[in-house]
């Protein structure tokens, strides 16, 4: 883990699935309700003595723990990410009736990534943060479109994907794509922009018969899974592994335009009777091709007739991954397609650093951890995304004076692909002020802003194996808390520029997003059946 943290800032989860009665009443801070009792003069004196003793013990503990309830410890190694160039032994894929299916998760630019190589150059911090901002703008636009809160597009926003149905043909696979498909693909925006490719985490899947291995980004903010396919009628970006070859798979088949599965797509077209799909991301990055089905292998599990996009016009900075696995709530997502097998349950844990312990993606009913703090999943707020109710923020163990209406007006969602957590300006300003005040009290020097991050510090020359940081906690409906791990409080460009890893949205009514930096080391649980999202501390 990135820090040796005492998690005392938040209460255990009191959230329950709908219909379950509470076991006991408990206020937000986890302090049991005071029992009603009577006392005389003698019992009052006894109570006073007990209070004095408790105060003395608390003071002693506080002194020994160096304020563990208000501060967390960030290891000095976390400030030197470049030093961690080796990869620990990766976790093996696992399968079992009790535990479900576990797949190793790594940062796509870390030394444990199958995409890593001596010649591979990771994007700069400025590129990562700029791409993250474009993703956030895309999410905000999608939320506005799907919830009826339409807003005017930003200047320079990418046009929507458009698929022009082609003339009838006898095309059966992308390998024999007709000229009409090439023409329809050419009508889409040609952009070399960047979207999902930076700051994300990858897993390895198998596809086809015989199975070929592909490393893909997994994304809770998308539904449709896709990989780049051979041949590319229009354009394919450079990936590490060979392209998927549908002509070599005995179980590959295109989906018919008349199939109800084609209707499940947000954007679809038709060519020669075969369904076309299109997905457009925030800056014009895109994937377009045939909507198809084939055998998907996840660890030791096999999912037959899995529907995915066989992409032949793919543009954008997706790193060198082969494509993307969609884990959203839509009909085309893996979560929904494999509901009969996994019950709509999955969880993941993102490691503290790219070179640290390998994370995991768990699929199936074995995913929930016993210590997960649960909050309701707000499925009525809109499709695809995992909406939750953020209700407050704590710094140093103290709840900030932010009206709950600030959070309820904007709404919030949890996203695996967004790097930096976004907050309404009326919530971000108190967080920044409280955090800056606590950092000033600790004597840290300020550093220049970094892209969208405006509260930065120079931590060079710090003595000891770790540095103290003010604790930061996110509070959710039902009392669930995410006590941010020390590795997730700061975005560290280097030791001389470590920035508060939160940013403000443009407006208070833009949806808040809990990003993957704040999710580090937590087992983040998604359960469609029980309609809950959970946070289990110390999972990896």
Q: Bridge partners of 234?
A: none
| Closest CA relative to residue 252, chosen from 219, 277, 230, 284 | 230
Catalytic residue among 219, 264, 301, 485: 219
Structure tokens at 35: 């029992």
Q: Is 294 a catalytic residue?
A: no
What's the 3-state SS for 339-354? HHHHCCEEEEECCCCC
DSSP for 329-388 reads SSTTSHHHHTHHHHTTEEEEE--SSTTSS-EEEEESTT---TTPEEEE--GGG-SSSEEE
| Closest CA relative to residue 394, chosen from 135, 7, 48, 22 | 7
Rounded Cα distance between 483 and 475, Å, is 9
Structure tokens at 372: 């997960």
Structure tokens at 33: 């309700």
Contact 120, 320 (CB under 8 A): yes
Rounded Cα distance between 125 and 354, Å, is 14
For 75, residues 6+ apart whose C-beta sits below 8 A from its C-beta are 2, 3, 4, 465, 466, 486
Helical (H) or strand (E) element with 58? helix 41-64
Catalytic residue among 415, 508, 510, 527: 415
Q: Is 264 a catalytic residue?
A: no
As a dihedral over the C-alpha atoms of residue 460, residue 466, residue 468, residue 470, rounded to 10 degrees, the angle is 100
* Catalytically annotated residues: 219, 415
């Amino acid at each position: 883990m990135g820090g040796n943290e005492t998690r005392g800032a938040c209460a255990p989860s009191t959230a329950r699935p709908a219909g379950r009665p509470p076991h006991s009443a408990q206020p937000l801070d986890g302090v049991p309700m005071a029992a009603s009792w009577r006392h005389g003069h003698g019992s009052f004196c006894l109570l006073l003595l007990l209070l004095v003793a408790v105060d003395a013990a608390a003071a002693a503990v506080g002194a020994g723990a160096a304020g563990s309830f208000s501060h967390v410890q960030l290891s000095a190694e976390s400030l030197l990410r470049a030093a961690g160039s080796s990869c620990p032994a990766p976790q093996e894929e696992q399968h079992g009736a009790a535990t479900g299916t576990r797949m190793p998760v790594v940062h796509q630019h870390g030394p444990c990534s199958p995409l890593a190589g001596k010649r591979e150059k990771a994007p700069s911090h400025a590129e990562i943060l700029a791409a993250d901002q474009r993703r956030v703008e895309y999410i905000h636009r999608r939320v506005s479109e799907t919830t009826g809160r339409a807003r005017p597009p930003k200047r320079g926003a990418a046009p929507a994907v458009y698929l022009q149905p082609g003339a009838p043909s006898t095309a059966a696979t992308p390998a024999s794509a007709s000229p009409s498909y090439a023409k329809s693909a050419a009508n889409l925006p040609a952009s070399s922009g960047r979207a999902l490719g930076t700051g994300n985490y990858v897993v390895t899947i198998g596809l086809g018969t015989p199975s070929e291995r592909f490393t893909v980004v997994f994304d809770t903010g998308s539904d449709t899974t896709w990989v780049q396919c051979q041949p590319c009628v229009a354009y394919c970006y450079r990936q590490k592994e060979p392209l998927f070859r549908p002509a070599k798979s005995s179980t590959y088949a295109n989906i018919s335009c008349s199939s109800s599965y084609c209707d499940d797509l947000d954007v679809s077209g038709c060519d020669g009777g075969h369904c076309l799909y299109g997905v457009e991301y925030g800056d014009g990055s895109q994937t377009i091709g045939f909507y198809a089905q084939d055998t998907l292998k996840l660890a030791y599990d096999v999912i037959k007739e899995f529907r995915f996009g066989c992409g032949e016009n793919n543009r954008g900075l997706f790193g060198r991954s082969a494509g993307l696995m969609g884990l959203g709530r839509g009909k085309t997502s893996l979560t929904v397609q494999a509901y009969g097998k996994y019950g709509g349950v999955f969880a993941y844990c993102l490691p503290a650093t790219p070179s640290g312990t390998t994370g995991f993606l768990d699929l199936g009913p074995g995913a929930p951890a016993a210590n997960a703090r649960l909050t309701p999943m707000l499925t009525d707020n809109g499709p695809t995304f995992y909406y939750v109710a953020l209700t407050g923020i704590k710094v140093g163990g103290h709840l900030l004076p932010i009206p709950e209406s600030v959070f309820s007006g904007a709404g919030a969602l949890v996203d695996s692909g967004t790097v930096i957590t976004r907050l309404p300006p009326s919530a971000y300003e108190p967080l920044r002020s409280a955090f800056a005040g606590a950092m000033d009290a600790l004597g840290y020097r300020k550093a220049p802003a970094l892209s969208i991050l405006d509260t930065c510090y120079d931590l060079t020359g710090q003595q000891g194996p770790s540095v103290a940081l003010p604790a930061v906690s996110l509070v959710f409906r039902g009392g669930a808390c995410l006590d941010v791990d020390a590795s997730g409080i700061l975005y560290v460009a280097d030791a001389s520029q470590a920035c508060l890893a939160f940013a403000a949205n443009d407006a208070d009514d833009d949806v808040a997003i809990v990003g993957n930096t704040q999710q580090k080391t937590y087992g983040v649980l998604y359960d469609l059946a029980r309609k809950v999202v959970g946070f289990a501390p110390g999972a990896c």
